[in-house]
Amino acid sequence: MIYYKTKEEIELIRESCLLVCKAHEVVATMLRPGITGKDIDKAAEEVILDHGGKPGFKGYRGFPATLCISPNEGVVHGIPTDREFRDGDIISVDCGVYMNEFFGDSAFTYALKGANKDACDLLSVTNESLYKGIDQALIGNRLGDIGYAIQQYTEKVHGYGVVRELVGHGIGKNLHESPEVPNYGSRGRGPLLKEGLVIAIEPMINLGGRAVRQSDDGWTIITRDRKPSAHFEHTIAVGKEKADILSNHEGVWDIVKNNSHLVNISLKR
């Protein structure tokens, strides 16, 4: 069943999403060689708690941390570790918040200085594909229009692998609600997009093939060919003329531009 949100509920989801983005801003400020996933996880949890929220992922189906941190060939669901990040790493960070009875969710992939051009191009294209999907999140369109736009840009135009096993999702009082939001599909197919629909759109795109597998920790999803993967995500409300993006990466981009340890992979958004 799809749960459609009132305008008031959408504003509560926006508050949760903006706290997610505050956590991302803290992460973006801290990222550099020598810091660990556990370091940024602890800082993200502190800012969420300090602002009256709760980590949306911690304890969810037994997940042990506030952030999903998936470096390099990691696609999603990586558990923060004591491994120190190194020059050239790309680091996917996914964060969720629960506040005022509603969840927020957003992901961003960072590139440390020294990341090669192929990896940086992957991040830029994946980020742009997110907005191509969001552009299709209009009342009267179909769910397949979103996935089609993402797939065409990443797979058909750039030759990347679009992960099939993991998808975006509805979001509200539950972290994962109906409908599922694939990053592939056919135009004009799938459920009709209606007013009040809130979804998380999250392209997960691989530099090589689309095949993935679960790592030995029981959580982290990695690419089978061990080539890099990128992940960007916004929570949005379907709109009449344009979607309402409830999360906000503008502050993250500003920090990326000014953090000398990070590559500014795109200024398009």
Query: Mean pLDDT by 10-residue block, N- to C-terminus, for the chain (269 residues)?
Result: 97 98 98 98 98 98 97 98 97 98 98 96 97 98 98 98 98 98 97 98 98 95 98 98 97 96 75
Give the residue carrying structure tokens 């629909």.
Answer: 197
Predicted pLDDT of residue 269: 42
Displacement of CA 254 from its chain's centroid (Å): 18
| Tokens (6 digits) for 124 | 């830029």
Question: How far is it, in rounded angstroms, from Cα 28 to Cα 17?
Answer: 16
Could you give the residue ranges of the DSSP H alpha helices within the chain? 7-30, 37-50, 117-134, 143-151, 250-258
Task: Give the burial class of 199: count Cβ atoms within 10 A of its Cβ; 0-12 exposed, 13-18 middle, 19 or more buried.
Answer: buried
- Say what the pTM is: 0.96
Amino acid 268: pLDDT: 46
Q: So what's the pLDDT on residue 267?
A: 52
Cα dihedral sign for 214, 264, 19, 82? positive
Report the distance separating Cα 186 and Cα 90, nearest Å. 31
Domain ranges within the chain, ordered by starting residue: 7-258
**Second-level CATH architecture of 7-258:** Alpha-Beta Complex (3.90)
